[in-house]
Amino acid sequence: MKEHCFTPPKSQIESVLHKINKPTYVLEEAKLKYNLEILDYVQKNSGAKILLALKGFAFWSSFDLVSKYLKGITASGIYEARLGFEEFRKYNQDAEIAVFSPAFSKDEIMELLPIANHIIFNSFNQLEMFQPILLDTNIDIGIRVNPLYSEVTPAIYNPCISGSRLGVIPSEFQKRLDMLDLISGIHFHTHCEQNSDALFRTMEHFKKYFGDYISRMKWVNFGGGHHITRDDYDVGLLIKIINDFKSEFSGIDVYLEPGEAIGWQCGSLVGEVRDIISNKYNIAITNISAAAHMPDCLEMPYTPQIRGAKITNLDSNISTTSYRLGSPSCLAGDVIGDYEFDRELNIGDKIIIEDMIHYTIVKNNTFNGIPLPALAILRENGDLDIVREFGYDDYKNRNG
């Protein structure tokens, strides 16, 4: 159940398609604001602090808006931490910068000293190595743990599979209890695109293995992967889980660090049809590359939704309006997907690929020398701002 009163805004992107003449990621400001209001509702009704995970949403031209709602950012390394410090804290001087890495170098720790509020280690070895450097700072030290439970599939996204490199398992945690006085918080991350019922079940395992030590902490970080802004997400249950936890462990701050939930369904990738050929199927060649512009589609894998079309199986549904959408690269498998459109396509038609603001932008690349899409924000008043365009130098400078 939603348990909030916010109404999702209608998309305005079709009104500005005539202004888009190259592949462009378009962030719709009204939709982003809708997501942020839901996240802030959780904060206000649970007392939890929500941080933006830059690994999922690093569209920093929107941080003036995001910083009005969220409490800071969480980073996976020095570059993300610097981005949060430079572009998020610009608008919110009290924004928190939390940083986790499976393994830090000394140089990275030294760079983080004037930036970070929380540094979360993946092992007690790293904590022991760098604790003397952090001794006289105001930085909170955390440790990431692995509660040996996660419902995430596929395995590539599951941080708790057997042999995982992420987090201290309970048996190793028990060996280093003498170091608990050095840490301020415990962090666990077991989710990926999941509802709050998965968190409810995870808490049983987290408290089973680490519950005896929570009262010694200042905070516990519930990690990311919480799909809070998805239509079917049970916001009420999430709030209850947090409030029950805070009642059981009085005085403990709770953090959440979603990334995808911030950018969820609030923007599209716009391209166009460049050619239409026939080889068993109708094949529309677009100027959008799955491999370069939305690699998560191939990694996950999944077929993205396209406005005015539905995903289909061409072997059982060949018609004049069904097409395989291909990409401009030389990779034979660089296919976006098979679709049944509501009309016949023509060369020059615009294609709106839905939900392409989270993860796609942070993972895109210049494979085959294909230009990166531009970045744009569709303002609430209907204005389209092109905030960044990429050219040849962006390709050249990363290749030598």
Domain parsing of the chain, residue ranges? 29-263, 267-396
CATH 3.20.20.10 fits 29-263, yes or no: yes
Q: Is 330 helix (H, G, I), strand (E, B) or coil?
A: coil
Rounded to the nearest 5 percent, the helix, strand and coil shares of the chain are 35, 25, 45
Looking at this protein, which amino acid is placed at residue 186? I
3-state secondary structure of 196: helix
Strands 322-326 and 96-100, by their bridges, are: unpaired
> Is the pLDDT at 273 greater than 80, yes or no?
yes
Say what the pLDDT of residue 1 is. 54
Q: Which has the closest alpha carbon to 352: 16, 32, 36, 8? A: 16
Q: What pLDDT does residue 51 have?
A: 98
Dump pLDDT digits (tens) for 11-64.
Answer: 999 999 999 999 999 999 999 999 999 999 999 999 999 999 999 999 999 999
pLDDT at 230 over 90: yes
pLDDT of residue 317: 85
When the pLDDT of each residue in the chain is averaged and rounded to a whole number, the result is 96
Give me the mean pLDDT over the 255-275 stretch: 97
pLDDT tens digits along 319-342: 999 999 999 999 999 999 999 999
Task: Quote the pTM value.
Answer: 0.95
Closest CA to 32 of 4, 5, 71, 69: 69
Which helix (H) or strand (E) element contains residue 324?
strand 322-326
Structure confidence by residue, pLDDT tens digits, 292-305:
999 999 988 899 99
Q: Is the pLDDT of residue 286 over 60?
A: yes
Q: Band the pLDDT of 5: cuts 50, 70, 90.
A: confident
Of residues 8 and 4, the one with the higher pLDDT is: 8
Residue 25 β-bridge partners: 269, 375
Q: How far apart are CA 327 and CA 336, in angstroms?
A: 7
Place of tokens 């209608």: 10
Distance CA 201, CA 271 (A): 42
Write out pLDDT tens, residues 361-397.
999 999 999 999 999 999 999 999 999 999 999 999 9
Phi, psi of 75 (to 5 degrees): -120, 155
Residue (of 150, 148, 182, 194) closest to 167 by Cα position: 148
Both structure tokens of 323: 């097409």
Say what the pLDDT of residue 2 is.
Answer: 61
- Residue 167 pLDDT exceeds 80: yes
CB 307 within 8 A of CB 268: yes
Element (H, E) at 299: helix 296-299
CATH topology of domain 267-396: Lyase, Ornithine Decarboxylase; Chain A, domain 1 (2.40.37)
Say how far apart CA 202 and CA 191 lie, in whole Å: 9
Token representation of residue 279: 């080889």
Span 277-304, average pLDDT: 95
pLDDT (tens digit per residue) in 67-97: 999 999 999 999 999 999 999 999 999 999 9
